[in-house]
Structures are given as C-alpha cells and as structure tokens.
Chain A
C-alpha cells in the first residue's frame, strides 16, 4: 500500500512539529507549512492526498481560504480542519461553513493521534462521520443556538444595545427583544432574576468564543 501524503498547515511550530512526528510514525508522508502561501507552494510541488489545516494562520489568508482554494483545484483532496475554535461560527469572519467531506476537529478534543488518523482516513475515503465533525457536536458551547441567534448574541457581547442590534440587522427592536428572550430561554438564563440576563448571556458567549471579534 502506498503511503499517503499529508500536508500540515499550522502556524505554531510546536504543534506542527509534534503532529508531523506523530503522523510520520503512523506511516504518512508529511509535509508542513506555517502559512497559506507556503502551503500553496507545497501543494504545487507535491501530489498531496490530504491537508490538515488550522483556521487561524496569523497574518494573511486563513485556513478556510486555503482549503477552499486547494479544493477548487483538487476536488479529491481530503481536508481536516484542526482548530481551537469550538465552532466555525466564532471565526470572526462572518458566514463560514465547513464544506462537505471535510473533518472538523477541535484541538482540545484531540487526545492522541488515533482520532486524527481516523479523521484522515475518513476524509480520504470521502465519508466523514459525526465523530469527526466537532462543529456539529450538540454538546459544543452554544451549540443549540441557531446561526442567527448566535449573531445576535455576539452583538450583545460586543456591548450593542437592542436598538443598535436592530439597526445593524435591519429588524425592529421588538423582533430583537423577542429573539433575545428565546436565546435566554435556550441558554436557561432567568431573564427575571436579580442578575442581569444580558450580562450573563454575554459572559457565556465570551467563554465559548473568546473575545467577540466583529464579523
């Protein structure tokens, strides 16, 4: 059996080298890159089977852009997103989706190489199971909020008033209030309690997503 050729794109050298060692030991031929431009260079030079890509790659293009660009030229290329983000909706770049056939693994959920190798095997086979789509995990933080509700919650976490949220989304203040009530209900935040429900909701968002970057 031929060894599969995998590219690891990760801006943190420590993790990049560690993953490379582990996958090499697992029988893969591994190339590494620290950013999108280097990754493209490797892609052009090598006949890759799969790419493991971090989403945040520092200055320049991010992992989504890179994966999208590479997949346009090689539809068979297996893609595994390996990221700190519990959910691509927290990426800070508006609407981003993990395309069909790609795996999405959270670094915090990665116990060893087994799960990563399994994910690679699945993307190479073109069948990704729910186990390797952490972005669809119902237990992920704020996983039970819809995309729209998450957007509104992000604006709350950014300190926006209901009026500002309504203006920015082209909705009425009443509609925003109604959506916030539903968000509080889903997050099981008591809107009538002494504590400020809005503050609690913002705290939950920031705990899940970190700093609420706009976009």
Chain B
C-alpha cells in the first residue's frame, strides 16, 4: 500500500510561503497588489483641490505603480534565472517589502513635484506603503492558499478512496489467482514425483525395496511439500494500481447552495486590524497627524462595534454561500457608512473619493476574508470526510490482514492435507508388508491419485457461528456453562463473510480457552453484535479475578492481532472481558 502523504499542521502557511517564494509571484501578483493602492491613490487625488491637471494625477499613479514593479522585476532578473523554479520565500518577502518602501519613497518624492502636497515625509510614507503591501499580500496569499489547501485535502481524500477501492477490488482476485497458482505449482511438482513412486512400486520385489519406497514417501513431505509451502508463502499479494481519482481542477471549491450561518463568519477584530494597518497611514498623511489619529480612533470604534453587533444579529441566520458572501460585503459596506456618518458628526472632513476608496478597501477585504473562510469551512468538512474514509481504510486493512491469515491457513491445509496424509498412509501401509501385494500397491496408487485430485478442490467452509458455539459448548461439556447472545444481523453478516466468520471463531476459541485454561472459569458468556456497517463485535466474558493477560506481548496475542480490527483484554475486579471487533470481508 502506498504510504499516505503526511500533512503539515499549518498547510495554509505552507502554501502562502510557497506561493510567495515562487518566481511567478512576481508576475501574477504584482498587478493585483500594486494596482489596488494605485487605484485608491487615483481616487484620492482626482477630487483634491490645489494641484495640477488630471493627467498629472494619472501620471503620478502610474509612476507610483511602476516603481515597485520595477524593483520586483529587478529582483526577479537578478535572483531568478529564466528556467529556475526554485522557491525563495524569504527573498521574495524582502523584495515585496523593498518594493513597498520604494513606492513610499517615490510617492514622497513625487507628491511635492506634482504639487499634491507642499512636503511629504519619506519615512512615514515608506512605512505606510510597506504595511499596505504586507497586509494586501498576506490577505490575498491566505485566500489563495486556502483554496490550494482545500485542493490538497480533496486530492488526499480521492487518493484514500481510490486506495480503498483498489484494496477491495484487487485483493480478491489476487488471492484467488494465488491459490490457483499454488495448486497448479504443487501439482506440477508433485505429479512427477508420484509418477516415479508408482513406477518404483511396480518394480519393487522385496521388503527392502518397499522400505526404501516408504522412506522416499516420507522424505517427499520434508523435502518437497514443506519447502514448497515455504516458497509459496513468501509471495505476498501485489495489487496493481489502477487510475487515480483526481478532482477536476476547475471544480467549484464552494458550492453556491451550501448553507452557512452568516454570523459565524463576521470577524470584528480581524477586519478592524486589517483596515487599521492598511489605511491608518494614508489617513494620517492626508488629514494631518491630530485629525488623522482622531479619524483612526473613530474608524476602529465604529467598525469594531458595527461588525460585532452584526455578528450577534446574524449568528443564527443561515444563507447560501453566494447570498452569505453578498450579505457579508453589504454588512462591511454598512460598517464603512457608519464610520463616514460618525466622522461627519465629529466634523472631520474626509474627501468623498478617499471615503469611496476606503469603502472599496473594506469591501475588498470582506470579500477575500469571506472567501477564505468559506474555503476553510469546506476544507474542514473535507477533512472530516477524510477521517471517515481513513477509518474505512483501517477497517479494510484489518480485513486484508484477516484475509491473509485465513488464506495462509487454507494454503497450509491444502499442502499439508490430502497429499501429505496419502504419502504417510502409503508409507505405513508399505512398511507393514513383507512383500508387495498387488492389491495393496493398487490401493496406494489410487489413494495418491485421489489425493492429487483433491489438491484443487475447495477447502471446507467454516462452521456457521451458532453451530461452532454449540460445538464449543458440547465439547467442553460440564467444564463450563456457556451463554450465547447475538444479533441476527451479525449472524447473517458472518454467514455471508466466510473470512470474518473464521476470524470470529478464532476469537471465541481464544477467549474460551483463556477463560477455561488460564482463568479456570466455569461460566462464560459470548456476545456477538454488529457495529454497523463494517464491523462485528465479539465479547467473551468470564467471572474471575484472574486476568489471563499473557506475560509477554506476542505470545498468544498474535492470533488476536491478526484476526481482529481491534481487541482488548480487561478485568474490572469481577469479570475478565475479551473484546474484539472483526472487519467484515471487503473482498468477496
């Protein structure tokens, strides 16, 4: 079985890191990250009074965007050769921050040149831009990485399911063909040997010759049958892999009809913190320090309180994913409107374009945050499904382990059964004769041929469970009083699952043996019930204070390990309980 991929505890962080480290982050991401603040700047500038023409505003915005892009371009050319796909996350993070600083410096230099402000502080500008870039980068990367993480989970889920299917479909065929090849191989090897023995029998003249043939027959068992059994046992089932079920790359991550509780997704603190980081610098630069700080305080308070109230109000409101996203953005727009109203009441003048830009920032953040949360929410659902699939996988593995054990026993029965017995019987019969009687020789040959024919016949099926328990009770006689409680569904399931039935009988046999021989119990109860849909639970209890736990793990417990999915042996002071769950056959 292929080893399953280990998953990082924080896959979103890993994806973000990898995305940032890729050289592609320099092309696909640059436009998005720098276009947004530039658009904001344009909106901010166009309505401002006392500066140059509109084209100087546009030129200013273009330059403000080009400078950081150029910095990133230089980094890419310098440190990422054309064909290299190496990941350099630290370098890229530094490059983005450097680009942000360059943008800040460019703006600080251009603002007075274009007459936008009399003077600009390059340090404040650079810090503000670095923070803006870092926040934009983080939120977009986290949103995108959530999607990729979800895809990872989905792929792993598909992989696990496929593995399960393979085990179910491939193993049955493998076991069947293994048994067939075993029989064929045993026949191929034993037939010439038996032919040779028959010829020897035909030509045997005296007791010495008969003794020699008898000895040869015994040695066939030790020299041929056992080594053959050993050689065949070394062959393990090799399950061929069929195709892999990979989810379609364009499949929708979040189905629009998925219903969610809206309030669960509203995050007052996170959103306020993001908005604070992204806009505080701009507000202080545009409004001046004192007014800017006052505006920031009002923004934090109004935003946090509005979102917190909205969270409470919508906590139980269930909406489809699409409607929830729309409502989520609307609520954030309302939160922005509350800030505008509050700032007006406080007589803080903020240009309408700045306010419009601010609302845009808030709604943009809201949209990405909602998207990220929905993806994470669905991912958690997938992980939950994955846990269920893994449980099924574990049961399937137990079933295979049980199958291997039962098949090994069947192989041993085939090889050590009729042929071996016929050879021993022939040897005993020949040794008992001083001279070869033609009738005895014919009988020996006939027995050997019959044994060879039986080699390919089906092995005897296990006894039905009720018959087995009755046999146990009958054989142990007065030594124990046995009570048997069971669910009909379990008996029915076992009747249709011969491997599981064989394993359940092994568990019962071990439990009863343990109770009688080690714990010296006289009353034993056996319960067999279903644990839907793939397990049968067996409990063997006896009233004794002696816990017959083997002194060394591995002695006696090996049987239970190999014929059960899980098992335990406990004592509560009055009762010793052997409990086991047995996997129903995944392969029919």
Contact = CB atoms under 8 A, between A and B. Distances in A.
8 contacts: A59-B468, A111-B431, A168-B553, A168-B561, A206-B229, A208-B226, A212-B233, A214-B562
Given A37-B471, A60-B471, A65 B509 contact: yes
Contacts of A148: 552
B408 A211 contact: yes
A206 B509 contact: no
A66 B431 CA distance: 30
A15 B562 CA distance: 32
B233 A59 contact: no
B554 A168 contact: yes
Interface residues of B, number: 67
Contact of A107 (B412, B415, B424, B447): B424
Interface string B427-459: 111011000000000000001001100000000
Contact of B556 (A68, A95, A169): A95
A14 B448 CA distance: 10
Contacts of A12: 417-418, 421
A213 B409 contact: yes
Contact of A18 (B227, B409, B428, B509): B428
A214 B405 contact: yes
User: Which 5 residue pairs across A and B have the least CB separation, nearest first?
Assistant: A215-B559, A94-B556, A206-B230, A214-B562, A211-B233
Contacts of A44: 477
A24 to B, nearest CB: 13
Contact of B230 (A168, A170, A211): A211
Interface of B: 214, 218, 221-222, 226-227, 229-230, 232-234, 236, 405, 408-409, 411-413, 415-418, 420-422, 424-425, 427-429, 431-432, 447, 450-451, 460-463, 468, 471-472, 474-479, 502, 505, 509-510, 513, 516-517, 550, 552-562
Given A59-B460, A151-B555, A14 B428 contact: no
B556 A36 contact: no
B421 A14 contact: yes
A130 interface: no
Given A12-B418, A108-B222, A213-B409, A94 B559 contact: yes
A174 interface: no
A203 B432 contact: no
Contact of B432 (A58, A72, A112, A155): A112
B555 A95 contact: yes
B230 A108 contact: no
A92 interface: yes
Contact of B517 (A68, A110, A203): A68
Given A56-B416, A108-B218, A15 B226 contact: no
A110 to B, nearest CB: 6
A60 B222 contact: no
A194 interface: no
Nearest to A54: B421
Nearest to B501: A59
Nearest to B513: A65
A211 B218 CA distance: 19
Interface string A62-86: 0001101100110000000000100
Nearest to A35: B471
Given A107-B424, A110-B424, A207 B559 contact: no
A15 B479 contact: no
Contacts of B214: 111
Nearest to B562: A214
A182 interface: no
B418 A213 contact: no
Interface residues of A, number: 49
B510 to A, nearest CB: 8
B553 A61 contact: no
Contacts of A168: 553-554, 558, 561
Contacts of A40: 474-475, 477
A212 B234 CA distance: 10
Contact of B425 (A15, A60, A113, A214): A15
Contacts of A27: none
Contact of B463 (A59, A113, A155, A211): A59
A36 B475 contact: yes
Max chain A C-beta neighbours (<10 A), residue from B222, B451, B502 = B222
A210 B412 contact: yes
Nearest to B518: A95
Given A18-B428, A151-B555, A213-B408, A59 B475 contact: no
Given A84-B221, A84-B420, 14 more contacts: A14-B422, A14-B425, A14-B447, A14-B451, A37-B475, A58-B460, A59-B502, A94-B558, A169-B554, A170-B553, A210-B416, A211-B230, A215-B558, A215-B562
A65 B513 CA distance: 8
A69 B479 contact: yes
Contact of A210 (B230, B450, B502, B552): B230
A38 to B, nearest CB: 10
B227 A170 contact: no
A113 B557 CA distance: 38
A22 interface: yes
A73 B462 CA distance: 27
Contacts of B468: 59-60
A93 interface: yes
B404 to A, nearest CB: 9
B413 A69 contact: no
Interface in A158-215: 159, 168-170, 203, 206-208, 210-215
Max chain A C-beta neighbours (<10 A), residue from B416, B418, B471, B560 = B471
A213 B406 CA distance: 9
A119 B48 CA distance: 116
A61 B559 contact: no
A75 B420 CA distance: 33
A37 B233 CA distance: 31
A61 B509 contact: yes
B554 A73 contact: no
Contacts of B226: 206-208, 210
Contact of B229 (A60, A95, A110, A211): A211
A112 B428 contact: yes
Nearest to A211: B233
A58 B424 CA distance: 18
B412 A213 contact: yes
Contacts of A37: 471, 474-475
A69 B450 CA distance: 34
A72 B222 contact: no
A108 B431 CA distance: 13
B555 A36 contact: no
A73 B479 CA distance: 8
Contacts of A210: 226, 229-230, 233, 412, 415-416
Given A69-B477, A107-B424, A170 B412 contact: no
Interface in A89-127: 92-95, 107-108, 110-113
